[in-house]
Structure 1
Amino acid sequence: MNNWFKRNGIHLAIIGIFIAICFVYFSPALQGKALFQSDVIQAQGMQKEIMDYKAKDGKGPLWTNSMFGGMPSYQIWVQYPNNITTYVISFFKAVFPNPIDTVLLYLLGAYFLFCVLRMNPWLAAAGAIAFAFSSYNFQIIDAGHSNKAIAIAFFAPILAGIIMTFRRQYLAGAAITALFLAIEIRTNHIQMTYYLFLVLLILIGIELYHAIKAKTTKEFIKSFAYLAAAAVLSIAVNAGALWTSYEYAKESTRGPSNLTTDKSEPNNGLDRDYAYAWSQGVGESLTFLVPNAYGGASGVSDLGVDSEVAKTLGSKGIPAEQIMPAMQQLYGVGLSTYWGDKQFTSGPWYFGAIICFLFVLGLFIIKHRIKWWILSATLLCLLLSFGRHMPFLSDIFFNYFPLYNKFRAVESILVIAALLVPVLAILAVKEVAFHTEDPNKLKKHLLYSLYITGGLLLILIAVPSLLLDFRATGHNQFVEQLTQLTNGDRPFADSIANSLIQDRISMARMDALRSLVFVLIGAGLIWTLINKKLSPQIVFILLAAVILGDMWNIDRRYLNNEKFVEKNVLAQQFQPRDVDQMIMRDTSNYRVFDLSGRQGPFSDSGPSYFHKSLGGYHAAKLKRYQELLDKQFNGSINEDVLDMLNTKYVITSDQTGSKQTVQNRDSAAGNAWFVPSVTYVKNADQEMAAISSFDPKKVMIVSEEFKPMIDLRRIGFDANGFIRLTSYHPDLMTYEYSSGKDALAVFSEMYYKHGWNAYVDGQKVPYFRANYLLRAAQLPGGNHKLEFKFEPASYYTGEIISLIASILLVLALGYAMYLEAKKPDEGAKVVKG
C-alpha cells in the first residue's frame, strides 16, 4: 500500500490541487449558497409532479401530466436503478456540491487522457485545466445545462480508453471505454454523444489506414473488436434509457410530421432554420483567441458609466444614475455589445490565447498521425458549426447523415474542438520538452507560430476595423428604432450607434492586447524549454499556472460569485399567486392554460409546478401536440380543443402583467365522456381540419386506420350512462363507468401507443386515437372498472438488460484491474504507435 501511494503520490497531489481550485473558484458553495441556473429552475417546474410521486411511492412515475397535456418523463427525470452508471454520477453529486462536481469531472477526465498520452503529470494538469476552463464549459454550467456539461466531461476518458485499446492494451482499454461510454450515454445528451461519435469515426479511419500501411491489420481488427464489444456493452447498460428515448423520439418533434398539407413542416427531424438558428459566425471563430472580438455576451453588462455609449447619453442631460437603466431599456431595441449573427449568446468560445498559440506550433512540429486526426476532426467541427453560413456542407449532413437533423444549435459541435485544440497544444509542449529535433529548427517554428498569432493580434490592436466590421446585421434597423425612441432625433440615434461601435472596438482591442501578453508569455516559456534555461518540470508548472490565470479571468466574466444566491432564494422561485391558490382549491382532475406569463405558455414551466398545464418548457414535445398548437392555438385559440383537453381554468393578465385573473370554463369536457357518434377521416390533415370546429361531447373524430377497432353494430348511447375518474396516478388512471350498451368513450389524455394499456375489470382491451391526439375506446356495456396503465416494455425489459450488462461491466473492469495489478510496471504503459 505504501508503494502504491509512493508511485501515485504526484497524481494524488494534482487531484488535490484540482479540488482546491474548484473550491476556490466556487467558494460561495462552501458558504451554503447555490448557483442560480435558469434551466435548473425550469427543470424544477417540469419535475414537480414526478418528484412528488417519487417522495410518495419511492419511485418516480414514467409519465407526467404536468405539462403539454401529458408526456413520458423519459427526457425529464427517470430512475434507472439497474444501471450501474447511475450510481457513479450520483456519487460525485453526493460528495461535491454543484457545480464543483461538474468542473472536477472536466478536470479528472482530461487529466486521465493526457496521462494516457504519456504526459508528465504537471503537463497533463496544464492540459486538463486548458480543457476544463474553456469558456463554453462554464457558460453551460451558468445556464443550467447540467446533462450537457457532464456529457462533455466524459469525452476525454472515452478517448483515453480508445487510445489505450488501439495501443494494444486491449482488455483494460476496452473496459475503460465501456465504463465511460456507458456513463456518457447515461447523461442522456444524445447530441453531444453524437458529435463525439462523428470524430471518433475519423480516428478509426486514420488508424485503419496506418494499420494497412504498416501491415498490422490483425492488431487493428483485434482492437476494433474489443472496442465494438465495449460499445455494445455500454449500450446494453443503458438499454432502458436508449430504448425509451428511441421510442419517444419517433413520436416527438424530432420525429416525422403527421401532416402533409403544411409544406413548411419538415418530413423528418427539425426544421432546418430552427436547427441552424445558433450557427457560429465564420468571423466569430476569432474569439477562440480574442474573447471579446465580437463583443462578448449579448446585453450591456460590459458597458459601464465610462463607456462611449454612456457618455453620449450623458451628453443629452440624462442623469448619471439613470444611464445604466437607460442602456438596459435600449437593449430591447438592439443595444448590445455582441454584434454577431446569433439571436443572442451567453459568451464567446474562448480556447485560450496560449493554447491557440501552442496549437499553431503543434501543427508545425508534431509528426505523429494524431496531429492529422486532430486537425481533420477540428476542421470538420469548425465547418459544421457554421451551419447556415456554410450550407453546402451543413446541408449534406442535415439531409443525409442519420440523426443529424434531430439536433439544434449546430455551434455546439465546437465542444469537440474545445477538447482537441488543447490536446495538440499540450502535445506540442511535450515535443519541445523532449525533442530530438534540431533546436534551431524548433526556434524557427516557434517564430512562425508567434508571427501568425502575434501578427493577427497586432492587427486587431492597431487597426481592428481592417478585420472586423463591428456592426450587427440589423445595424440599420437598430438606428431606425433608436430614431423612433428619440422622437425622430436621427443625429442622436446615429451618435448612440457610433458610440456603441467604438465601445465594441475598444473591447476587441483590449482583449487582443491581453491575448498578446499571454501569447508572449507562452512563447517565452517554450523558448526556455528549447534552450534548457529551466527544467521541464518548472516550465510545466508555470504553464499550468499561466493557463489557469488566462482562462480563470475570462470565465469569471460569465460565471462568478454574483451568480450564487442563498438557497432560500431558489426555494422561493415557485410561489403560488392568488390565482394559483384559488385554482388549487379545486381538488378534482383538470387542466390549466396559463396565458399570463411573459415568456409565453409554451416556454415556461412555472405553471407546471402547481397545475396540470397545457403549457410547459421542453425541447421535445409530442409531435402531435406541437402540430395541434400550431394549427389550433396560433392566432385565435380553439375553444373546442380547450374543452376536449379538459381545460377548466384559463389564467390571463392585464397589459402590465401585474394582475392575473381566472376564467372558469364550465364547458370543459371532463376526464372522460361517452359520445353518441363517430366521424371517420382519411388522414391526419382531415383529422386536424375536423377538430377545428366540432362538439367533442357529441362526436369523436377518428382516423380510418382505427376503424377495425370499432363495431358500430354493438354501440349505443345510454343517456343515463356515466364514466368518471376515481383514482389518479400519472402511471395509473382508474375509472368506473356504467352503460346499458357498448359505448364509445373519449379520455382527455394524450394518446401514446408505446406503453399505455387499457384494462376492463383486469382484462386487457384495445384502445385507439381520437380527436387527433386523445385516447378513446369502445367499452363493453354494464358496470365496470377501467384502468389505463403506463407499463412500457422498453423501460421494464430494458432494465433487465441493463442489470445483466452492468454486472458484466463490473466483472470486466475487475478482471482488467486484476491483470494490470499483476504487471504493475506495464499497467500504465501506452505503446507508442
Structure 2
Amino acid sequence: MILVLVQLSFPILAGLGVMKIISLREYPNKTTELILKYFAYAVSIIFIFSLLLSNLIGQWFITRVNDYAAGIEASRGQMAQQFRALAKYSSGMFTGDIIVGFALLTVSFGAAVFYLNKKISKDVLVILFIAVVLIDLWRIDARGAKYVENPNVETQFKTPEYAKIIKAQNDKEPFRIFNMKQDGSLGSFNQNSNFNAYFLLEDFYGYSGIKPRAYQDFMDVVGPVNQTLWRLTNVKYIIMEQQAQFPGLTLIGGSGKEFVYRNENALPRFFLANKVEQKPALDVLRAMKSDTFDPKEIAFVQNEKVEVQIPDSTASVFIEKYQDERVSLKVNASGNNFLVFSATYMPKGWHAAVDKSETKIYRVDHALMGIIVPKGTHEIEFRYEPKSFVISKYLALSLSSLVVLGLVISLLLEVLKKKKTKSSL
C-alpha cells in the first residue's frame, strides 16, 4: 500500500515541476535558472561519456556477473549457468539504460534551458516533455516477458462435470472438496494449482504452495487420504477416477473415469465439540492417521487446560455472514461450549469476539481454531486482521493525506505568491 504514495506523488510533482519551469519566464528566479543550466551541462557530459565508454561499461558489467557466477558455482551450479548465459544480455540492457536515460535527461533539461533563453515556446517545451515520457514508457513496455492470449483459455476453464454436480447440490454452508483423480487433468491431485478456486470451490488440497507449517503437517504426517482428516476439515465432496467403497461416502453422480461422492461424515465448518483434552501435537496427528478419534467428540489442545460442558440438543450454530476475512455467527450454547472453526490457526492474524468482546482463540487439533462460548445466545465474530496490515493501512492513509494536503498548500502558496507579485508591479 505504501506504493500509493509513490504512484500519487511522482506525476503530481512532475506536473508541478513543469509548471514551475514555465512560470520562470514570467517570474524569474536566478537560482532556479542556474540549477537547471548546470543540471543540463552535467547530464549532457555524462551522456557523452556513457556513449564513449559504453563498451568499457558493458565489459565491466559482464565481468561482475561472471565473478558472481563463479562464486556460487559450487553450491548453485544451475543458477551460475543461468547468470553466465544472461550476462551479455543484461550488460546490453544496463548500458542501454544508462545511455537512453541520460539522453532523455539531456533533452529534458536542454529543452528547459532553451525555453528560458526564449529559443522555444511553451507549447514546444510541453510537447518535448510529453515525447520524452512516451518514449521512456514505450521503451520499458517493449522489454521483458510478453503475454500471448491462450487460444484454448475458454476450453481450459470450462466447468468440469464434477463441479456442475457439486453446485447442483445447492449447499448453503461452506464446504471443501478433494479431487483424488490422478489423470493429470487440471484440478486433479497431481495437477491442482488451486484450479477449483476458479469455480468458487474451496479445495482441501489446492491452496498455495506457501502454506502454514501446521497445515502442511496434515499432508506430511497424516496424509491427504484420511477419513478423520476429511471429517475434521469439512471435506464434503470427493472426486475419484473409479468407484470405491469408503464408509460414509455416497455416490451422487459421475460416470466413466469421474465419480463424485458426498462425505456424509463431514463436519460443518463450525461445530461444537463435546469435550476438550490436552494432547501433544504429534500424538494428535498420529491419532488422526490411525482414525482413532472423533473430532466432534474430542477437540485436542496443547499445554492448556480447558473446562467445557457437553452441548445438548438445544445448542446450535448458525452462519449469518461468511467471507474469507470475516465471519459472523449466532451461537446458542447450552453451557460453556467449545466452538471449533475448521480454518488454519494463525494467532497473529485471526481475532475472535463474543458479543463484540475479544476472546481467546485456542489452537485445536494441531492446526485449527477454537473458542469457548458461554451459556446463552451470542453473536460470534471471527476476523482476519493482522496488526501489520492495520498499521500499514493507517500509515499509508495518513501519509497519503499529508502528501495531498502538502500539495494543496503548496499550490495555494504559489497562487498567493503570484497575486502578491502582480500587486507589487
> Could you say which TM-score interval applies, normalised by the shorter chain?
0.5 to 0.7
User: Which amino acid is the alignment partner of residue 758 of structure 1?
Assistant: A
Question: 1:624/1:117 Cα in 2 relative to 1: closer, same or farther (>3 Å)?
Answer: farther
**2:271 maps to amino acid:** W
Indicate how the Cα distance of structure 1 residues 802 and 574 shifts in structure 2: closer, same or farther if over 3 A, else same: same
Count residues in correspondence: 314
The match for 1:616 among 200, 206, 220 is 206
For 1:808 and 1:421, how far apart are their aligned partners in 2?
41
Which one has a bigger Cα radius of gyration?
2
Query: Structure 2, unaligned stretches of length 5 or more?
Result: 11-42, 101-138, 244-254, 409-425
The aligned residue for residue 436 of structure 1 is: none
CA contact (8 A) 1:732 1:790 kept: yes
Please tell me whether residue 587 in structure 1 is matched to residue 176 in structure 2.
no
After TM superposition, list the pairs within 5 Å mapping 1:333-372 onto structure 2: 363=59, 371=60
Q: Is the 8 A contact 1:387 1:411 kept in 2?
A: no
| Corresponding residue to 2:367 among 764, 773, 781 | 773
Q: Give the superposition deviation at 1:755.
A: 2.3
Task: Summarize deviations over 1:39-73 as a string: whole Å, max 9, x none.
Answer: xxxxxxxxxxxxxxxxxxxxxxxxxxxxxxxxxxx
For residue 45 of structure 1, what is the aligned residue in structure 2?
Answer: none
- 1:650 aligned to 2:234? no
Letter matched to residue 604 of structure 1: S
* Counterpart among 708, 711, 717 of residue 310 in structure 2: 717
1:724 to 1:804, Cα distance in 2 relative to 1, 3 A: closer
- 2:328 and 2:380 in contact (8 A); partners too: yes
2:331 paired residue among 737, 760, 777: 737
- SS at structure 1 position matched to 2:396: helix
CA 1:362–1:784 in 2, change beyond 3 Å: closer, same or farther?
A: closer
* Unpaired runs of at least 5, structure 1: 1-79, 90-114, 128-357, 364-370, 391-408, 431-547, 815-833
Query: What does residue 661 of structure 1 align with?
Result: 259
Give the deviation of 1:802 after TM superposition: 2.5
- Do residues 701 (structure 1) and 389 (structure 2) align? no
For residue 641 of structure 1, the aligned residue among 224, 229, 235 is: 229
Distance 2:317 2:214 in 1: 26
Number of the residue aligned with 2:16: none
Alignment correspondent of 1:672: 270
User: Do the aligned residues in 2 keep the contact of 1:374 with 1:424 (CA within 8 Å)?
Assistant: no
Q: Which residue type is aligned with residue 178 of structure 2?
A: F
**Residue pair 1:741, 1:780 contacting (<8 A) in 2 also:** yes
Report the TM-score, using the length of structure 1 for normalisation: 0.33
Q: What is residue 750 of structure 1 aligned with on the other side?
A: 344
Shift in Å, 1:388: 4.1
Structure 2 match to 1:268: none
Q: Is the 8 A contact 1:750 1:775 kept in 2?
A: yes
Post-superposition offset of 1:690:
3.3
> How far apart, in 2, do the equivalents of 1:601 and 1:754 lie?
31
| Post-superposition offset of 1:805 | 4.6
Instruction: Measure, in 2, the Cα distance between the counterparts of 1:691 and 1:620.
Output: 23
| 2:11 is aligned with 1:83 | no
CA drift of 1:696 comes to 0.8
Relative contact order higher in (CA < 8 Å, ≥ 6 apart): 1
Secondary structure at 1:642 match in 2: helix
Aligned to 2:393: 799
Q: Deviations over 1:638-686 (max 9, x none)?
A: 110011000000112259x97321011000011222222223124x333
Q: Displacement, 1:427?
A: 11
- Opposite residue 68 of structure 2, the aligned amino acid is L
Cα offset, 1:592, TM superposition: 0.7
Matches of 2:85 and 2:5 in 1, distance apart?
26
User: Are 1:575 and 2:172 counterparts?
Assistant: no
Which of 64, 68, 73 does residue 380 from structure 1 map onto? 68
Q: Aligned AA for 2:337?
A: A
Q: 1:673, 1:659 → 2: CA distance?
A: 34
Looking at structure 2, the residues matched to 785 and 116 of structure 1 have their Cα atoms a distance apart, in angstroms, of 69
**Cα contact 2:232–2:267 (8 A) shared by 1:** yes
Q: What does 1:86-125 correspond to in 2, within 5 Å?
A: 118-119=46-47
Q: 1:779 to 1:382 in 2, by over 3 A?
A: farther
Change (3 A) 1:87 1:812: closer
What whole-Å deviation, never above 9, does each CA across 1:161-209 have from its counterpart, x for those lacking one?
xxxxxxxxxxxxxxxxxxxxxxxxxxxxxxxxxxxxxxxxxxxxxxxxx
- Equivalent position SS for 1:745: strand
Query: Aligned letter for 2:284?
Result: E
Contact kept? 1:624, 1:772, Cα under 8 Å: yes
Q: Hey, what's the Cα distance between the residues in 1 that align with 2:335 and 2:98?
A: 81
Within 1, Cα distance between the matches of 2:77 and 2:277?
Answer: 48
1:606 aligns with 2:165: no
- Structure 1 distance, partners of 2:82, 2:278, is 45
Residue 286 of structure 2 is aligned to residue 689 of structure 1: yes
Give the residue type in structure 1 aligned to 2:311: D
1:699 Cα deviation after fit: 0.7
Identity %: 19
| CA–CA distance in structure 2, aligned partners of residues 428 and 83 of structure 1 | 27
Shift of 1:618: 2.8
Q: 1:88 to 1:422 in 2, by over 3 A?
A: farther
Deviation at 1:807, TM superposition (A): 6.5
TM-align CA RMSD:
4.4
Q: Structure 1's 728 and 81: CA in aligned 2 closer, same or farther, altered over 3 A?
A: farther
Q: Write out aligned runs for 1:312-351 (5 A).
A: none
Provide the C-alpha distance between the structure 1 equivalents of 2:75 and 2:337, rounded to a whole number of angstroms: 53
SS at match of 2:202: coil
Native 8 Å contact 2:273 2:299 kept in 1: yes
- SS of aligned partner of 1:119: helix
Q: Does the Cα contact within 8 Å between 1:757 and 1:788 map onto a contact in 2? A: yes
Q: Closer, same or farther in 2 for the Cα pair 1:427/1:573, shift >3 Å? A: closer
**Is the strand fraction higher in 1 or 2?**
2
How far apart in 1 are the matches of 2:44 and 2:241? 59
Alpha-carbon shift at residue 764 of structure 1 (Å): 1.4
Counterpart Cα distance in 1 of 2:98 and 2:389: 47
Q: Write the letter of the residue equivalent to 2:312.
A: A
Instruction: Assess, with a 3 A threshold, how the Cα gap between structure 1 residues 781 and 426 changes in structure 2: closer, same or farther.
Output: closer
Aligned-residue offset at 1:698: 0.7
Verify the 8 A CA contact 1:652 1:662 in the aligned structure 2: yes
Amino acid paired to 2:166: I
Displacement of 1:412: 7.3
CA apart distance, 1:583: 0.7
Q: Is the 8 A contact 2:47 2:99 kept in 1?
A: no
CA distance in structure 2 between the aligned counterparts of 1:680 and 1:786, rounded to whole angstroms: 25
Matched position secondary structure for 2:394? helix
Which structure carries more helix by proportion? 1
Q: 1:784, 1:427 → 2: CA distance?
A: 63
Residue in 2 that maps onto 1:463: none
Q: Per-residue CA shift, 1:391-448, capped at 9, x if unaligned?
A: xxxxxxxxxxxxxxxxxx7877779956753367779999xxxxxxxxxxxxxxxxxx
* Pair 807,576 (structure 1): closer, same or farther in 2 beyond 3 Å: same
Q: Structure 1, residues 685-714: CA drift from partner, whole Å, max 9, x if none?
A: 33322332321111112111xx15x2x2xx
